[in-house]
Structure 1
């Protein structure tokens, strides 16, 4: 079996030279954007080699976070982006491994006197979450830098929340963004919880490229439709039996009913390597970057089984991404 490696550096595909080439490269980059996997760990168990789920989409001079797990503020600094430079945040769902870093982004933004507006897009419940985070900032924002006589500053200024639901389509700075509700939640369709909450997958259509981010999901017809003919699929993937075992080890005192609930969630609400290959094949995507990875590390011989399972269903280029990879 031969495995294809996905080209990582956008610049490697640009073979021009000289000043005109630099301008052409910038134009190309503006058209296709750059997707950086800031954090590629599958939560909620933390991983010393991978940060929590977060991504940075750079397009036409703008910087957007797509999910914002713990550590995202530090990760963006590795590509010379500070919290005050973030132009927008897209949240896929409200699990803490995907939202834990948002408090830091908001707080550091306040501390650096960010003046540009920040819009946070997300599923139902996002407004309530953001309001709670802003409320938690009141003591720190009131004390601020502890200088007597300093004028008060409004830590809520410029923060806007836009909640999205299944089927919504919006335009953000010339980029079309479509969302689909996926199968990471499986509340009964007519229940109160199903009305209150959704887990979203995103499609970003840039002038020169389309990128689909699954977020967390199980197999989903809606995600397949959303991803149809996309240039890049950024897909979650978990070794579910191994993840369950790691959950047992990390939480030896977890009550049995909660453990069973977690087992059901992991088994039904996430993608295996075979699922990723099938999704990519049926959606006819151009390439796949696997993230939200929970499995054997690349140095372990058992890691090759994931590659085999993906390649068995999908014959395009793919890679299991690491933190700070760029596509």
Structure 2
């Protein structure tokens, strides 16, 4: 898996950064999910390796414009590109009205199956491979963060041990691969766990929406491989940041440390900061949590 940051600015775009959108690529085929869809996200798609036809799900943290104003354009361009694959949107109450109203008033439509799911806190997606849990954050309007967990992958079948135990080939091998028990034609009952190699732990990510320090922050980010969190303002502007429902560099890094995250990627920087300011912001984070990186537009991070 890898993350592609399509926009890393807060509130408004700048000449150096677009507003928020993050792509999560799930497989070698390029299947992806999108987290938020700020203005001009579809332009950023064209500058990246992401493909709209591989987009399966969009998770919206909240309904501020810098997180959703790119959604109508992306949805309709997908139809104009003759993409027929279904798409599911997840987000706070009001998302369905936003989508339906903008499409209706602009005389637009989509030609593929589109489902809009308005969410509450808790598990919002689970297909047995990936699970997504929504957590309420501390912003000036309803806003969520998403914990994305990949289930552990079972180890490979030990063919040498199967051969040594005279286990013949057959449809039961698929069940053994899943760790299940099977009864063979000779009456023996064998257990998949006895023939599987070590499982591979699944990856865990936390992608926060806009937020001041929140009660659920530790649970959302607990021991994740990657934590993505806003760092809208520098530490000296803490009061201003928190009053507007945002966090500072130091607050973000402190959460990553306390949650025992393995890695922090900070994003959503105020447009007041230019590229030459970023080493200073990075230093504030790394003084507390050394494994910090700063996102930039079109940067790709392997997970």
Instruction: Calculate the TM-score normalised by the size of structure 2.
Output: 0.75
Question: Taking CA–CA contacts closer than 8 Å with sequence separation of 6 or more, which of the two structures ends up with the larger relative contact order?
Answer: 1
Q: Which region of structure 1 is more displaced relative to structure 2, 306-315 or 60-69?
A: 306-315
Of 287, 297, 300 in structure 2, the residue corresponding to residue 323 of structure 1 is 297
In the alignment, the residues of structure 2 paired with residue 290 and residue 228 of structure 1 have an alpha-carbon distance, to the nearest angstrom, of: 16
In the alignment, the residues of structure 2 paired with residue 54 and residue 125 of structure 1 have an alpha-carbon distance, to the nearest angstrom, of: 19
- Residue 242 to residue 68, structure 1, CA distance change in 2 (3 Å): farther
Query: 1:137 Cα shift?
Result: 4.0
Answer yes or no: is 1:271 the counterpart of 2:226: no
In the alignment, the residues of structure 1 paired with residue 10 and residue 265 of structure 2 have an alpha-carbon distance, to the nearest angstrom, of: 14
- Residue 266 to residue 129, structure 1, CA distance change in 2 (3 Å): farther
In the alignment, the residues of structure 1 paired with residue 105 and residue 37 of structure 2 have an alpha-carbon distance, to the nearest angstrom, of: 18
Of 212, 215, 225 in structure 1, the residue corresponding to residue 219 of structure 2 is 225
Query: 1:243 Cα shift?
Result: 8.9
In the alignment, the residues of structure 1 paired with residue 147 and residue 260 of structure 2 have an alpha-carbon distance, to the nearest angstrom, of: 15
In the alignment, the residues of structure 1 paired with residue 69 and residue 286 of structure 2 have an alpha-carbon distance, to the nearest angstrom, of: 33
Structure 1 residue matching 2:211: 3-state secondary structure: coil
Q: Is residue 36–residue 60 contact of structure 2 (8 Å, CA) maintained in 1? A: yes
In the alignment, the residues of structure 1 paired with residue 43 and residue 281 of structure 2 have an alpha-carbon distance, to the nearest angstrom, of: 30
Question: Which runs of 5 or more structure 1 residues have no equivalent in the other structure?
Answer: 1-32, 142-154, 187-197, 245-262
Of 55, 80, 84 in structure 1, the residue corresponding to residue 22 of structure 2 is 55
Deviations 1:252-274 (A, max 9, x none): xxxxxxxxxxx967634101011
- Residue 100 to residue 243, structure 1, CA distance change in 2 (3 Å): farther
Q: Is residue 84–residue 108 contact of structure 1 (8 Å, CA) maintained in 2? A: no
In the alignment, the residues of structure 2 paired with residue 206 and residue 310 of structure 1 have an alpha-carbon distance, to the nearest angstrom, of: 27
- Residue 95 to residue 137, structure 1, CA distance change in 2 (3 Å): same
Of 154, 161, 165 in structure 1, the residue corresponding to residue 116 of structure 2 is 161
Provide the residue aligned with 2:100 in structure 1: 131
Structure 2 residue matching 1:38: 3-state secondary structure: strand
- Residue 230 to residue 71, structure 1, CA distance change in 2 (3 Å): same
**Larger helix share, 1 or 2:** 1
Query: 1:85 Cα shift?
Result: 3.0
Q: Which region of structure 1 is more displaced relative to structure 2, 81-90 or 119-128?
A: 81-90
Structure 2 residue matching 1:55: 3-state secondary structure: strand
CA root-mean-square deviation: 2.4
In the alignment, the residues of structure 2 paired with residue 157 and residue 48 of structure 1 have an alpha-carbon distance, to the nearest angstrom, of: 34
Q: Is residue 56–residue 87 contact of structure 2 (8 Å, CA) maintained in 1? A: yes
Query: 1:160 Cα shift?
Result: 0.4
Structure 1 residue matching 2:216: 3-state secondary structure: helix
In the alignment, the residues of structure 1 paired with residue 146 and residue 289 of structure 2 have an alpha-carbon distance, to the nearest angstrom, of: 21
In the alignment, the residues of structure 1 paired with residue 298 and residue 47 of structure 2 have an alpha-carbon distance, to the nearest angstrom, of: 8
Question: Which runs of 5 or more structure 2 residues have no equivalent in the other structure?
Answer: 152-201
Query: 1:86 Cα shift?
Result: 1.5
Answer yes or no: is 1:298 the counterpart of 2:275: yes
